[in-house]
Structures are given as C-alpha cells and as structure tokens.
Amino acid sequence: MMSDEHLLLKDAAGGDASALEALMSRYGSRVYRLAHGITRNSADAEEIVQDVFLQMVRKGGAFEGRAALGSWIYRVTTNVALNKRRGKRREVETSLEECLPAWEADGHRSGPRAFLVADWSGRPDAELLSGEARRILEEAIDRLPEHYRAVLILKDVEELTNEDVAASIGDSVSAVKTRLHRARMALRELLTRRLGPQT
Amino acid sequence: MMTCRDVNGLLVDYVDGALPPEVAAAVERHLASCEPCRAYLATYRKTRALGAQAARVEIPDEMRTRLRQFLLERAG
C-alpha cells in the first residue's frame, strides 16, 4: 500500500500542481536548510533546491518507497550540494585538527586552567546570536568541512536520529557520530577561544 | 575511574541520553569532581543549541515563488 507521501510524489510527478505545492510546503525549507548548510551560499542553495525538486518531479514516479521519502530527499539534496561544492571545497581538515582538544598522557585536557574551566554557556542566546558573537559562530561554521555541516544540520536542526542521518547521507552510524562530535568540538573550541576566558 | 578523555569520547551519546545507565553514572561521577569537564559539557551543549539556531533558516518567500514557477513550467 502506498503511503500518503508516496502518493503525493506520484501525483507531483504526474504534473498535479496541488501535490507539488504540498511537497514544497512539506520539504521546501528542509531542503533549503540542508543545501544552505552545506554550501553556505543562498544562490547555490536555490539552484540545489530547484534541482532536487526537479528530480522529485521527474524521477519521483520511480521512487519505490522502500526508504522513507524524507531520507531519500535528504540524500538527493546532500549529493547535489556536495557535487556543487566539488572544486570549490577548501581543504580545512588539517585546520580542523587544531580546533579539537589536545590531551595529556594521563587523559587530562591540555591548556591553561583559565581556558579549561571557561564557561560562557550562561550568556543569553540573544547576545550569542547577534553582533560579534554571531560573526564568530558563522565563521566557525564556515570552517567545518561540508560533510560535517550536513551532519550537524540533519542531527541538530532537523533532529533526526543518528540512524536516520546515516541513511540520509549514505554513511555508517559510527561515522555520523564521529563527525557530529568533531564538528561540535571544533565549534565549541572556536567559540571558547573568543568568548570564554573573559567570563 | 574514567579520565577526561574517556568522558569526552562519550559526550555524543551522553547528551542524547543514549548511554547505558551504568556508563552514564560513571560519567556523572567524573563530572561531579571535574570542573574542566563540567565547563566543557555546558559549553558543548550550548554550542549545539547555538549552531542549531543559527542554521534554522526558512526558504525565503520570493525563492519559494520562483521555485513554484520553475516547477510548474516543467511538471507534467
């Protein structure tokens, strides 16, 4: 039996404007967020959204519904966005390493104590999401590799399970968890370097 | 006894509430006596929340309009 979404996709593929509207309403922002999260560019994200929805319309009739439609759409979006970024990609993996915690042989984190105990988490979101702090956050997100940003969006914004993130990007659950942790650690480190020790 | 590095390696599952109870309890025993790890966890959680809020964008209305037009021209 076809799911509601499967029927919607078939109808949209057949040129039904109301089915297309329903799909856009359900998935438009989700596709845009992921595309924008990966490319960090609004014009590129728009091209990706058009491409993904066009694939839905043209190939959606062949979607067999074995996977959840959401996962299928996220997977198409991730592939299109990463392809678009190919060639533009900056090699940031090396610089990401220096944003991860360094460890002493006994398992303690390395660094000055004032930095290690810096806790800026009590600052209001409104302050951290505006002005200089917001700029620091956006720059930190820019420094992450695209695959890491994709995982952050799917897990922390769309709130998918690790298993669903893995299905959406075609990777293993352990790879998803590793990327997620490294991405959060790198962002935390960059924020703490700028916001932390003064508090 | 867990080290700070052991605790750090469990944070993804810890903040998801996905650790077995005995492992979560061991993490909490470490946190109770380790100020740097408490600060790390608090800022790790805050980072997750801030990153999510910064990325929570909606498709702009004018883009949605262009997308609708683009697709209707090609559908069917």
Q: What is the DSSP string of chain B?
A: ---HHHHHHTHHHHHTT-S-HHHHHHHHHHHHH-HHHHHHHHHHHHHHHHHHHHH--PPPHHHHHHHHHHHHHH--
Whether A58 and A113 map to the same domain: the answer is: no
Q: Which of A39, A187, A193 to mutate to test binding with chain B, by most B CBs within 10 Å of its CB?
A: A187
Whether A40 and A60 map to the same domain: the answer is: yes
Å between A177 CA and nearest CA of chain B: 7
What are the boundaries of each domain within chain B? 4-74
Q: How far apart are CA A98 and CA B2, in angstroms?
A: 24
Write the DSSP symbol of residue A111. S
pLDDT in tens, A132-165: 999 999 999 999 999 999 999 999 999 999 999 9
Chain A residues within 8 A of B52 when measuring between CB atoms: 152, 156-157
Tokens standing for A119?
Answer: 């806790």
Chain A residues within 8 A of B73 when measuring between CB atoms: none
Whether A159 and A185 map to the same domain: the answer is: yes
Å between A118 CA and nearest CA of chain B: 6
Number of domains forming the structure of chain A? 2
Q: Which of A197, A186, A190, A198 is nearest to A135 (CA)?
A: A190
What CATH number labels B4-74? 1.10.10
The answer to whether the Cβ–Cβ distance between B48 and A185 falls below 8 Å is no
Whether A133 and A107 map to the same domain: the answer is: yes
**Of A48, A69, A85, at which residue does a domain stop?**
A85
Q: How far apart are CA A109 and CA A102, in angstroms?
A: 6
Write the DSSP symbol of residue A124. -
CB nearest B75 (choices: A15, A152, A185): A15
Higher-scoring residue by pLDDT: B1, A67: B1
The answer to whether the Cβ–Cβ distance between B47 and A188 falls below 8 Å is yes
Tokens standing for B67?
Answer: 């997308």
**A46 in contact with B at a CB cutoff of 8 Å?**
yes
Buried b (16+ CB within 10 A) or exposed e, A171-197: beeeebbebbbbbbbbbbbbbbebbbe
Residue tagged 């690790």 (tokens): A162
Q: In the prediction, which pLDDT does A199 show?
A: 45
- Does residue B69 have a pLDDT over 90? no
Q: How many residues does chain B have?
A: 76
CB-based contact A89:A144 (threshold 8 Å): no
Residue A165: which CATH number?
A: 1.10.10.10
Whether A50 and A137 map to the same domain: the answer is: no
Write the DSSP symbol of residue A109. B
Q: How many residues does chain A have?
A: 199
Whether A71 and A122 map to the same domain: the answer is: no
Q: Quick one: average pLDDT of A169-187?
A: 96
Of the listed ranges A84-93, B23-32, B49-58, B64-73, the least confidently predicted one is: A84-93
**A119 in contact with B at a CB cutoff of 8 Å?**
yes
Q: Which of A146, A181, A188 is nearest to A162 (CA)?
A: A181
Tokens standing for B22?
Answer: 């005995």
Q: How far apart are CA A155 and CA A180, in angstroms?
A: 8
Å between B20 CA and nearest CA of chain A: 17
Q: Tell me the residues of chain A between 121 and 150 that have a Cβ less than 8 Å away from chain B.
A: 121, 125, 128-129, 134, 137-138, 141
Q: In the prediction, which pLDDT does A93 show?
A: 47
The answer to whether the Cβ–Cβ distance between B47 and A191 falls below 8 Å is yes
Q: How far apart are CA A33 and CA A95, in angstroms?
A: 25
Q: Quick one: average pLDDT of B8-21?
A: 97
Whether A45 and A116 map to the same domain: the answer is: no
Q: With 0-12 CB in 10 A as exposed, 13-18 as middle and 19+ as buried, what is A111?
A: middle
Q: Quick one: average pLDDT of A88-96?
A: 60
- Does residue B76 have a pLDDT over 80? no
Å between A13 CA and nearest CA of chain B: 7
